[in-house]
């Protein structure tokens, strides 16, 4: 596999060696050949039996040095000083021809020194869910970890009931999290914190090194990436569901798809996660929560440099930085070709209209585009008339505006009821819906008439109202 192990070379205390379990009967459920080609790993697929052994952890090619990473984190606002990969094993890092480094990590491959009471395993449901949703996120153009493989283990996993076991292979720019910084900060281990920060700067933001205070430049870049990321989520109606600091990636990728979900009917305060009882991670809270998480990173970095004023300034600029990213994404979604005063209000009024009328977030944007030159009674009420006036006053031809809108408003999103269906049928041995979803979500903006049913919102009896952490 030709893996490097730069994280394993960091000092003891950053990670622990692990032995993935040798499972009974590994077999491939999915292999992401396009991603494998990007990573230079496609030739592994020539031997499918060996492929299943490698990506379940049973076989260890040269260069593979499995480790679990140590981290801490604020979970629902409460600090937990010791977390770490309890069911994950980092096999190593691929460095592409373009010089980009990616972690290759197994999830569900067995216990680690950080497992606490857990079994280190995963069942099929969360594995297929993460596969579908993370790849969909990528194809929507939003930074995310990716899915390389899903392997059935042939073993049983015991939860509230007995499920088939599986192992997921996650590919990430890195697995550095805000919680990794908190881990060393909580121990007042400034040497390790310095090593970690320098590693993170080298790996993700090398340009920060030439700045006057590299730690401040690093923090600014992390904050900017978080603003861009959360704006991307908000624009597609995505709810991460468990924005703890241990799930907040330093690279700015979407990390950790547990109870993550896309909204059908739009609601500002929408929550899916069964454990988020107070709505801390509700849709509309994601921006202030990202800022809160960044404040936890700043606190950790304060142990390395006396830059409180700079960190505070960056944190207080975060909402404006986010607003600017968000408007850049929302204007084209509404066909607004230029910036005008009142655009933010128009966008807000649209969302309020969707909420008041319990309309599907995704399909309403596609529907609005069809109304651009309509003369029959408005489908989206008074809002539509105002919107038509705003887009009608632009110099651009309607057809061009519609083409722009349809190029940024997906027709297909990974809808919860379809994910549930894919999982249920896979448990029964049929991967058709799982495979269909991966095909259709690879081109979320394109009309795909043969897959029209996957664009539809759920019927009332199909609605999924709650999602669960993938443990």
3-state SS assignment for residue 56: coil
Toward ligand AMP, which CB reaches closer, 85 or 228?
85
Among 69, 83, 234, 298, binds ligand AMP (CB under 6 A): 83
Q: Is 153 in the site for Mg ion (CB under 5 A)?
A: no
Q: Residues 6 or more apart from 285 whose CB is under 8 A from it?
A: 279
Q: Which does 469 bind (CB under 5 to 8 A by kind): Mg ion, ligand AMP, none?
A: ligand AMP
Three-class secondary structure of residue 115 per DSSP? coil
Asked if residue 145 binds Mg ion (CB under 5 A), the reply is no
* Residue 127 binds ligand AMP (CB under 6 A): no
129 makes contact with ligand AMP (CB under 6 A): no
Helix (H) or strand (E) holding 373: none
Name which position in 15, 121, 270, 388 contacts ligand AMP (CB under 6 A): 121
Which pairing describes strands 261-262 and 238-239: parallel, antiparallel, or unpaired? antiparallel
With residues binned 3-state (H G I as helix, E B as strand, rest as coil), the percentages for the chain, rounded to 5, are 45, 15, 40
Is there a contact between 396 and 440 (Cβ–Cβ < 8 Å)? no
| Residue 246 appears among annotated catalytic residues | yes
Distance CA 381, CA 363 (A): 16
The CB-of-247 to Mg ion minimum distance in angstroms stands at: 5
247 is an interface residue for ligand AMP by CB under 6 A: yes
Q: Does 172 bind ligand AMP (CB under 6 A)?
A: no
Closer by beta carbon to ligand AMP, 118 or else 392: 118
155 binds ligand AMP (CB under 6 A): no
Q: Out of Mg ion, ligand AMP, none, which partner does residue 87 contact, by CB within 5 to 8 A per kind?
A: ligand AMP
Of 276, 287, 182, give the one whose Cα is nearest residue 229.
287
Name residues whose C-beta falls within 8 Å of residue 338's C-beta, 6 or more positions apart in sequence. Answer: 394
Selected range binding ligand AMP among 1-9, 18-26, 110-118, 278-286, rule: CB under 6 A? 110-118
Residue 250 neighbours by CB under 8 Å, 6+ apart: 174, 176, 177, 178, 180, 200, 204, 222
CA end-to-end span of the chain, whole Å? 29
- Give which of 467, 421, 405, 411 is closest to 442, Cα–Cα: 411
Catalytic residue among 85, 246, 276, 310: 246
Stretch that binds Mg ion, among 128-136, 247-255, 309-317, 445-453 (CB under 5 A): 247-255
Q: Does the protein bind Mg ion through residue 467 (CB under 5 A)? A: no
d(CA 25, CA 23): 6
Selected binder of ligand AMP within 11, 77, 118, 319 (CB under 6 A): 118
- Residue number with the smallest Cβ distance to Mg ion: 256
- What does the binding site for ligand AMP look like in residue numbers (CB under 6 A)? 83-87, 114-115, 118-121, 247, 256, 258, 469, 471
Active-site annotation, residues: 246
List interacting residues with Mg ion (CB under 5 A). Answer: 247, 256
């Amino acid at each position: 596999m030709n893996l490097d192990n730069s994280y394993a070379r960091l000092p003891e205390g950053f990670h622990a060696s692990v032995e993935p379990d040798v499972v009974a009967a590994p077999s491939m459920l999915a292999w992401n050949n396009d991603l494998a080609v990007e990573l230079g790993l496609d030739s592994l697929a020539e031997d499918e039996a060996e492929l299943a052994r490698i990506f379940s952890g049973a076989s260890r090619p040269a260069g593979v040095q499995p480790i679990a990473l140590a981290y801490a984190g604020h979970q629902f606002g409460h600090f937990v000083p010791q977390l770490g990969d309890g069911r994950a094993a980092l096999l190593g890092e691929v460095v592409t021809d373009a010089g980009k480094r990616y972690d290759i990590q197994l999830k569900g491959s067995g216990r680690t020194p950080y497992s606490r009471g857990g079994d280190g395993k995963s069942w099929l449901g969360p594995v297929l869910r993460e596969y579908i949703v993370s790849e969909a996120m990528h194809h929507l153009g939003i930074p995310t970890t990716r899915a390389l493989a899903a392997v059935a283990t042939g073993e049983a996993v015991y939860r509230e009931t007995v499920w088939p076991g599986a192992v997921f292979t996650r590919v990430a720019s890195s697995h550095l999290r805000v919680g990794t910084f908190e881990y060393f900060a909580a121990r007042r281990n400034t040497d390790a914190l310095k090593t970690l920060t320098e590693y993170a700067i080298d790996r993700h933001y090398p340009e920060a090194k030439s700045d006057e205070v590299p730690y401040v430049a690093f923090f600014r870049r992390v904050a900017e990436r978080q603003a861009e990321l959360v704006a991307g989520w908000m624009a597609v109606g995505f709810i991460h569901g468990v924005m703890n600091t241990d799930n907040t990636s330093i690279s700015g990728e979407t990390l950790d798809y547990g109870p993550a979900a896309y909204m059908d009917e739009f609601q500002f305060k929408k929550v899916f996660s069964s454990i988020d009882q107070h709505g801390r991670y509700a849709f509309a809270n994601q921006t202030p929560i990202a800022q809160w998480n960044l404040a936890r990173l700043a606190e950790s970095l304060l142990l390395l440099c006396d830059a409180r004023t700079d960190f505070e300034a960056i944190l207080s600029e975060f909402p404006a930085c986010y607003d600017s990213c968000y408007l850049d994404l929302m204007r084209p979604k509404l066909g607004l070709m230029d910036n005008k005063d009142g655009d933010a209000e128009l966008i807000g009024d649209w969302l309020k209209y969707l909420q008041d009328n319990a309309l599907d977030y995704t399909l309403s944007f596609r529907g609005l585009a069809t109304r651009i030159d309509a003369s029959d009674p408005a489908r989206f009420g008074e809002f539509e008339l105002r919107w038509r006036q705003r887009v009608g006053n632009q110099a651009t031809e309607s057809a061009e505006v519609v083409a722009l809108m349809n190029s940024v408003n997906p027709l297909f999103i990974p809808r919860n009821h379809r994910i549930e269906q894919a999982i249920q049928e896979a448990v029964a041995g049929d991967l058709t819906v799982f495979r269909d979803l991966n095909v259709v979500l690879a081109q979320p903006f394109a009309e795909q008439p043969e897959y029209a049913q996957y664009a539809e919102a759920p019927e009332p009896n199909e609605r999924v109202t709650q999602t669960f952490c993938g443990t």
